[in-house]
Structure 1
Amino acid sequence: MTSTTIPSTMRASVLLEAGRIEMQERPVPTAGPGEVLVRVGSVGVCGSDVHYYKHGRIGDMVVTAPLVLGHEVSGTIVAVGPGVEEDRVGERVALDPQVPCRRCRQCKAGRSNLCPFMEFYATPPFDGTFCDYVTAPADQAFAVPDSMSDESAALLEPLSVGLWAAHKGNVGPGDQVLIAGAGPIGAMVAQAVRACGATDIVVTDFVDSRRERITSFGATRALHPVQDKDEIAALRVDTFVDCSGATPAVLSGIASTRGGGAVVLVGLGAEEMPIPVQLIATREITLTGVFRYIDTWPRGIELETSGAVHLDDMVTARYPLEQVEEALNADSDPLSMKAVVVVNPAA
């Protein structure tokens, strides 16, 4: 392994059980063959982190042992393992948190995000990145330009969700898109579909402050789901993207989708819900979901550096590593958009 001077131990913020975080001292991991060791810079707080913290589980993914949360991550390569070019040491990177097996049928079919053997930061039993150092496959560490902040580099991960949703919804120039939910992912989707050429981007949300803010992130209109229900019902959009997980929003969005359009489910709500099968069939609507992403980092870096998306503007609160618990509770503020944990501030 080639490296700079690295300590033997590091700080790690560890979820011991639902609602209980503890700072621990842990050994610094070692980069194996084909891997890099990254000194963590910034880590975005995701809704999944919050859910694990508050409930100890997401569906059948259950926290049964101490777990380091955090998967939206940027940093600097400080060491490389065998088989990795030594000149990568010192490179600023954004990390794709997925480690697929690369051998199963899904991986070989180009659906690596659906790999049944996936290792993913902060998904039990795999530790995440609320710590000083992490390892990653070298080809999952994407170099970012000096013009991009650590925070923007970390937020390429949630932007990737938006880009994958736009891809699954086949969004193109001149399209009209309806998005349910004006939170962080809704804002990422709005920016992503705008970058794809959508010209009318309608976002719905109950919270006044979110509706007011979403027009800064690509939305052309922001509507109240109940007060503006007639206007929403009259829409016939090319693509509907649900980022709320709310059954009424999903049903309303499907009804507002044109014949031949697409419905993309991003938000996770009820495990089951009734859907209008006859309407979907007679309008030939494509109904699909989003689970992570494939090869979106190069596109995200291009969009951010060109000014097509604005990730730094998403950040509404910053916390040091010792205040991860406060960061995980930041979403209780309706004015919060994106909280970031600054693990190691940029020099």
Structure 2
Amino acid sequence: MFTTSRGYFLHLSMFSPVKIFKFVVSFTFQTLRCAHFIVKEPMVIGHECAGIIEEVGSEVNNLVPGDRVALEPGISCWRCGHCKQGRYNLCDEMKFFATPPVHGSLANQIVHPADLCFKLPDNVSLEEGAMCEPLSVGIHACRRANIGPETNVLIMGAGPIGLVTLLAARAFGAPKTVIVDVDDYRLSVAKSLGADDIVKVSTNIQDVAEEVELIQKVMGASINVTFDCAGFDKTMSTALGATQPGGKVCLVGMGHSEMTVPLTPAAAREVDVIGVFRYMNTWPLCLEFLRSGKIDVKPLITHRFGFSQKEVEEAFETSARGGTAIKVMFNL
């Protein structure tokens, strides 16, 4: 039995996949930081996971050993003002997998709260269950922006988070989606996933004005909401310039910890800037989208590896190289 002030925990055997973003690989091995989260000592990474329950606490009555579950990786305090208001993703005491100094889930076994373990529908695989974590980012962003059948959506960045945001926006009913990136391959993936149009741009911030005109022309209608899934000076400047007056720009990516962007012209057009941090209460909807087939995340899983030392090294190298790697899976 495993207990804390929060209740009873589950002991899970992680035979299932854990996935790594190229971003996480870069953050861990190159900069050793993501925003204000800084790696100061060796740590276990991994925060996107699913597993098979081995043992449950005596007061757990909705799950049993053998159940396949997807894990929400953040343990909030449930005592602070944010938690009591339901916005537990903003909890100051959040213990989140692989966020310094908390160790992650890239391990054979972990212990986790029962109420953060969600049973998988019979037709949803462990791999798809593990994809609930990145998909949750896109779903939370769409909720923050109130995406619906009257919302034309622009997405800056066709990396993993940009692609799941695309899938979420389509599932929420967005009538038209345009996605922007610097990479031809990622744009082709976005097109195959259902983007109505794609736009290739440069990395040169001097091109923003010209590219804003091109993006607006390709959309062919007002851009109601833009998701910046990269988080750089150029992507945010483009988002602010392309979005219609009275529209919304959601900052999802965290490429730069600080930015210099044209906020004053955007404010004069009453463009709202909305922050998006992690997610809250998204796993049930993720699983329903996956169960119903309204969202298919399987095409995002491009590489699979076991958990030997050699395979782990090869997996990290594959992810760091980029190329055709979108989601790299470990099957433990």
Shorter-chain TM-score above 0.5: yes
SS of the residue 1:75 aligns to: strand
Is 1:154 aligned to 2:130, yes or no?
A: yes
> Partner residue of 1:36?
10
Is 1:337 aligned to 2:326, yes or no?
A: yes
How far apart are residue 58 of structure 1 and its match?
A: 2.2
Aligned letter for 2:194?
G
Which segment is superposed worse, 224-233 or 167-176?
224-233
Aligned residues: 315
In structure 2, distance between residues paired with 1:337 and 1:138: 30
Which residue, 257, 263, 266 being the options, matches 2:249? 263
> Partner residue of 2:313?
325
Contact residue 130 and residue 321 of structure 1 kept, 8 A = no
Identical-residue share of aligned pairs (%):
36
Which residue, 130, 134, 141 being the options, matches 2:117? 141
Aligned letter for 1:336?
A
In structure 1, distance between residues paired with 2:199 and 2:35: 31
Instruction: Give 5+ residue unaligned stretches, structure 2.
Output: none
In structure 1, distance between residues paired with 2:214 and 2:294: 29
How far apart are residue 31 of structure 1 and its match?
A: 6.6
SS of the residue 1:44 aligns to: strand
Contact residue 31 and residue 80 of structure 1 kept, 8 A = no
Is 1:285 aligned to 2:271, yes or no?
A: yes
More strand by share: 1
> Partner residue of 2:239?
253
Contact residue 187 and residue 218 of structure 1 kept, 8 A = no
Q: Deviations over 1:197-245 (max 9, x none)?
A: 0011000111111111111223111111249823215453110001112
> Partner residue of 1:69?
45
SS of the residue 1:280 aligns to: helix
Q: Deviations over 1:286-338 (max 9, x none)?
A: 10111100010000000011111111111000011222332223231321111
How far apart are residue 340 of structure 1 and its match?
A: 0.7
Contact residue 232 and residue 259 of structure 2 kept, 8 A = no
> Partner residue of 1:17?
none
Aligned letter for 1:43?
V
Cα distance, 1:54–1:82 mapped onto 2, change above 3 Å: farther
Q: Deviations over 1:67-110 (max 9, x none)?
A: 11101000111101232128522111000001000000111111
> Partner residue of 1:6?
none
Aligned letter for 1:217?
L
SS of the residue 2:245 aligns to: strand
> Partner residue of 1:170?
146
> Partner residue of 2:297?
311
> Partner residue of 1:115?
91
Which segment is superposed worse, 226-235 or 185-194?
226-235
> Partner residue of 1:95?
71
Instruction: Give 5+ residue unaligned stretches, structure 1.
Output: 2-29
Q: Which consecutive aligned stretches of 4+ in structure 1 deviate over 4 angstroms post-superposition?
A: 30-33
In structure 2, distance between residues paired with 1:81 and 1:285: 49
More helix by share: 2
Over the aligned positions, Cα root-mean-square deviation in angstroms equals: 1.8
**Normalising to structure 2: TM-score of the pair?**
0.90
> Partner residue of 2:214?
231
> Partner residue of 1:16?
none
Aligned letter for 1:324?
V
SS of the residue 1:340 aligns to: strand
**Normalising to structure 1: TM-score of the pair?**
0.86
Aligned letter for 1:330?
T
Contact residue 89 and residue 280 of structure 2 kept, 8 A = yes
